[in-house]
Structure 1
């Protein structure tokens, strides 16, 4: 089976393709994701690095420390500022696409919540999802739950 998901920034200067089934989708409630999304949380669609292709434009990058203390390289459009994806130094074979930048978001159903200790009090965290107080040591359960949900 072949997969092709497309997306890009708000102004259209940067376009990308995801050429394989994503590995997982989760919601992150850390303070940095709240800041970057200007909302109560951020979402991350983890994909294999080799499956993610920039097809138009060149995003800009800046690097920051995550709440976990790990380094994250953030990629965004230099014109409109849309955050597109980020790379984590501790996981060089995967990237996290910001799924709101996909052209079609109707199929997105997160399987977990990270950093629930920072979740805004107005949110209800579903007990049917995998929930972590902080950063999970092992993301394989998120990947497994995603695969089960998608089959």
Structure 2
């Protein structure tokens, strides 16, 4: 199967491709504020086996998320760009950091997570799914994303 999406880090040391449609796309706060040095970050869930590293080898470190679950974070060891998050709660999924995609024009998140930690100036879109914390499951996010396709 050929790549549906391609991406990589800022310096070009790591290149990847995704060989499946995403499952969902969402924005959120808290840890991603530190990780992105911004007000929020985005995550694009895809089947783990669909992500193929074509060049370079990401470095990894693990942390416990605000939900209390283990997450392995992958990044470029040269430029530090965050590429993927691998949640221990669901080993079939990898969360791609979609700002690393070569084409980001189509990105349109369907949800916001951890909104209780949003910066006061962030205006949440009421048409999106909004959760104060981690949702109990991601079925509504998957459904909403599928409906937009």
TM-score of the superposition, structure 2-length normalised? 0.98
Aligned equivalent of 1:11? 11
The answer to whether the 8 A contact 2:11-2:79 is kept is: yes
Counterpart Cα distance in 1 of 2:19 and 2:49: 9
How do residues 66-81 of structure 1 correspond to structure 2 at under 5 angstroms?
66-81=65-80
Instruction: Give, in whole Å, the separation in 1 of the partners of 2:129 and 2:33.
Output: 19
> How much has 1:2 moved relative to structure 2?
6.9
Matched, 1:104 2:103: yes
- Say whether the 8 Å CA contact 1:15–1:56 is kept in structure 2: yes
Q: What whole-Å deviation, never above 9, does each CA across 1:62-108 have from its counterpart, x for those lacking one?
A: 00010111010000000000000010111100000000000000000
**Partner in structure 2 of residue 94 of structure 1:** 93
TM-score, normalising length: structure 1:
0.96
SS in 1 for 2:10: coil
- Aligned equivalent of 1:21: 21
Partner residue in 1 for 2:49: 50
Count of residue pairs the alignment pairs up: 149
**Superposition misfits of 4+ residues, deviation over 3 angstroms:** none
Report the Cα offset of residue 52 of structure 1.
Answer: 0.6
- What secondary structure does 2:31 align onto? helix
How far the C-alpha of 1:3 sits from its partner, in A, is 5.7
The Cα shift of 1:4 comes to: 1.0
Assess if the C-alpha contact under 8 Å between 1:7 and 1:101 holds in 2. Answer: yes
* Cα distance between partner residues in 1 of 2:52 and 2:89: 21
Gaps of 5+ in 2: none
